[in-house]
Amino acid sequence: MGVVAVTIVSDYAFGGPKRGGDRAVLLAHGAGSDMDAAALVVAADALAAAGVPTLRFNYPYRSAGRKAPDRAAVLLAATRVAAHELARRSKLSHDRLVLGGRSMGGRYCSLLAGDTDDPWPALGLALLGYPLHAPGKPEAVRDEHFPRLRMPVLFVSGTNDAFGTPAELERSAKKVTGEVRWEWIPTADHGFRPKKRESGLSIDDAHAQMATTLVDFVTAL
Tell me the C-alpha distance between 125 and 155, whole Å. 9
Classify residue 5: in a domain, yes or no: no
Q: Which amino acid is at 185?
A: I
Taking a C-beta distance cutoff of 8 angstroms, is the pair 67, 42 a contact? no
Classify residue 82: in a domain, yes or no: yes
The rounded mean pLDDT for the chain is 94
Q: Which amino acid is at 190?
A: H
Classify residue 51: in a domain, yes or no: yes
First to last CA, the chain: 29
3-state SS of 124-147 is EEEEECCCCCCCCCCCCCCCCCHH
CB within 8 A of 76, min separation 6: which ones? Answer: 1, 4, 108, 111, 112, 115
Q: How many domains does the chain have?
A: 1
Classify residue 147: in a domain, yes or no: yes
Classify residue 1: in a domain, yes or no: no
Instruction: Assess whether pLDDT exceeds 90 at residue 21.
Output: no
Q: If you average pLDDT over residues 185-211, what whole number do you get?
A: 96
Tell me the C-alpha distance between 29 and 102, whole Å. 5
89-144 residue pLDDT tens? 999 999 999 999 999 999 999 999 999 999 999 999 999 999 999 999 999 999 99
Taking a C-beta distance cutoff of 8 angstroms, is the pair 78, 70 a contact? yes
Taking a C-beta distance cutoff of 8 angstroms, is the pair 96, 103 a contact? no
1-10, 83-92, 129-138, 211-220: least confident range: 1-10
161-180 residue pLDDT tens? 999 999 999 999 999 999 99
Report pLDDT for 1. 45
pTM: 0.94
What CATH number corresponds to the domain at position 131?
Answer: 3.40.50.1820
Taking a C-beta distance cutoff of 8 angstroms, is the pair 131, 109 a contact? no
Q: Give the DSSP H/E element, type plus range, for residue 15.
A: strand 12-15
Taking a C-beta distance cutoff of 8 angstroms, is the pair 177, 150 a contact? yes
Range of the domain at 78: 12-220
